């Protein structure tokens, strides 16, 4: 018999109980938002290196890399594409393309570990190969620079969701908080065109950061499931960043999903219990087919201490088991709900 030495990935410490890790083996998690490619573009952050101990700036980044995604039982990671600074109007699309280039370079470097994905079938293929599926989502329609053709170019490069807003108003809509805030104003005519074209292109409409009026208007227009990639919920903690029960119902009524953020500032407390509380509130209001994971790792947040990096995600699964969540519900919020939304927004052939 040939003796096979385990890889460096297998030799790393494992977080979570055997029961939690078994659930992740059955349903490798899908996280809807991490901003790691921003760091790859800025400082050459290598997704294939396990950053342990955490980088000096780990309060705001250094939470995600491929080894820790694998350790944490995460089968697919949406990487948010961020274009800063706030208020800039030109040169933003180029910043998005540079981040896409960074992902493609990382995927070429280790195709056995990281696969650029677009479809649910791509995610399933990556899982069978023991690799992480990497998907792309843009954070803020300002990256379109007011041109609907830019959306089409982004879609051709593999972008799977478009966040309509970030922390400033743009040609499509207005933020829940930030520069150019207008609470009573919904989508602009261009914003409505963007929503329609997203659906035609198979680009999921992401409603994180947008004001309530625009959020509800986009849901009313929707003919395909939207998502909220990373948020908290007002029914669990009152904060401007969080969405209310009517917004939850609007997303759920259209078959969408809502990713719960891992930031204590928006959850209302440290530790795993606040994350569980937000997930439970979503289930209590709209059922088990809506909750998902939206960490916001690497996004200038300090994540809750028990989820300070991707390797620790099974600790949340243990907390869900301890709170009485069934294995079926946990598998839905880890993977199945997000996978359904991806599948129900097919990419045109």
CB 164 within 8 A of CB 194: yes
Helix (H, G, I), strand (E, B) or coil at 306: helix
User: Using one digit for the tens of pLDDT, what is the confidence trace for 145-180?
Assistant: 999 999 999 999 999 999 999 988 999 999 998 788
Q: Please state whether the peptide bond connecting residue 85 to the residue before it is cis, i.e. omega within 30 degrees of 0.
A: yes
Nearest one of 329, 319, 206, 195 to 258, comparing CA atoms: 206
CATH superfamily of 22-343: Metal-dependent hydrolases (3.20.20.140)
Place of tokens 């980044």: 61
Domain-by-domain residue ranges, the chain? 22-343
Q: Could you tell me the CA-to-CA distances from 16 to 10, 133, 281, 305, 326 in Å, in that order?
A: 15, 22, 24, 14, 17
CB 3 within 8 A of CB 262: no
| Cα–Cα dist 202/196, whole Å | 10
Residue 110 burial class via C-beta count within 10 angstroms: exposed 0-12, middle 13-18, buried 19 and up = middle
User: Using one digit for the tens of pLDDT, what is the confidence trace for 305-321?
Assistant: 999 999 999 999 999 99
| Cα–Cα dist 44/48, whole Å | 11
pLDDT in tens, the chain (349 residues): 222 223 333 334 589 999 999 999 999 999 999 999 999 998 999 999 998 766 665 678 899 999 999 999 999 999 999 886 544 556 899 999 999 999 999 999 999 999 999 999 999 999 999 999 999 999 999 999 999 999 999 999 999 999 999 988 999 999 998 788 888 899 999 999 999 999 999 999 999 999 999 999 999 999 999 999 999 999 999 999 999 999 999 999 999 999 999 999 999 999 999 999 999 999 999 999 999 999 999 998 899 999 999 999 999 999 999 999 999 999 999 999 999 999 999 999 8
Encoding tokens for residue 309?
């990096």
pTM: 0.94
CB 29 within 8 A of CB 293: yes
What backbone torsions phi and psi does residue 31 show, to the nearest 5 degrees? -100, 135
Find the angle CA(38)-CA(243)-CA(167) to the nearest 5 degrees.
35
User: Using one digit for the tens of pLDDT, what is the confidence trace for 113-148?
Assistant: 999 999 999 999 999 999 999 999 999 999 999 999
CB 233 within 8 A of CB 266: no
Query: In the chain, where do the E strands start and end?
Result: 29-34, 74-81, 114-116, 132-139, 159-163, 204-206, 227-231, 257-260, 291-293
Torsion of CA 63, 69, 73, 78, to 10 degrees: 90
Q: Could you tell me the CA-to-CA distances from 254 to 161, 210, 220, 293 in Å, in that order?
A: 16, 18, 9, 18
**Whole-number pLDDT of residue 84:** 67
Q: Is the dihedral of CA 68, 98, 298, 217 positive or negative?
A: negative
Largest Cα–Cα distance in the chain?
Answer: 70
Compute how many other C-beta atoms are within 10 angstroms of the C-beta atom of residue 287. Answer: 13
| Cα–Cα dist 204/159, whole Å | 9
């Amino acid at each position: 018999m040939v003796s096979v030495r385990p890889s460096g990935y297998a030799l790393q410490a494992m977080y979570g109980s055997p029961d939690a890790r078994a659930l992740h083996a059955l349903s490798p998690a899908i996280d809807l938002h991490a901003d790691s490619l921003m760091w790859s573009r800025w400082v050459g952050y290598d997704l294939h290196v396990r950053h342990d101990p955490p980088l000096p700036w780990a309060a705001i980044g250094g939470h995600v890399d491929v080894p820790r995604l694998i350790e944490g039982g995460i089968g697919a990671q949406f990487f948010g594409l961020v274009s800063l600074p706030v208020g800039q109007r030109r040169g933003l699309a180029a910043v998005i393309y540079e981040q896409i280039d960074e992902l493609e370079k990382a995927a070429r470097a280790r195709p056995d570990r990281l696969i650029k994905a677009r479809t649910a079938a791509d995610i399933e293929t990556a899982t069978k190969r023991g690799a992480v599926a990497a998907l792309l989502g843009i954070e803020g329609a300002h990256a379109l620079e007011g041109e609907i053709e830019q959306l089409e170019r982004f879609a051709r490069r593999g972008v799977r969701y478009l966040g309509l807003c970030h922390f400033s108003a743009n040609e499509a809509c207005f933020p829940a908080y930030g520069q150019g805030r207008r609470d009573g104003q919904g989508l602009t005519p261009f914003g409505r065109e963007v929503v329609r074209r997203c659906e035609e292109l198979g680009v999921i409409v992401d409603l994180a950061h947008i004001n309530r009026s625009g959020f509800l208007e986009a849901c009313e227009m929707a003919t395909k499931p939207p998502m909220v990639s990373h948020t908290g919920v007002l029914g669990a903690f009152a904060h401007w960043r969080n969405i209310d029960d009517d917004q939850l119902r609007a997303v759920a009524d259209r078959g969408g999903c809502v990713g719960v953020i891992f930031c204590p500032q928006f959850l209302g407390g440290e530790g795993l219990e606040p994350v569980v509380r937000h997930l439970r509130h979503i289930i209590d209001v709209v059922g088990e087919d809506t909750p998902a994971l939206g960490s916001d790792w690497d996004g200038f947040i300090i994540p809750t201490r028990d989820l300070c990096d991707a390797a620790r995600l099974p600790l949340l699964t243990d907390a869900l088991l301890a709170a009485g969540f069934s294995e079926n519900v946990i598998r839905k919020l880890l993977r199945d709900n997000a996978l359904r939304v991806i599948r129900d927004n097919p990419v045109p052939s």
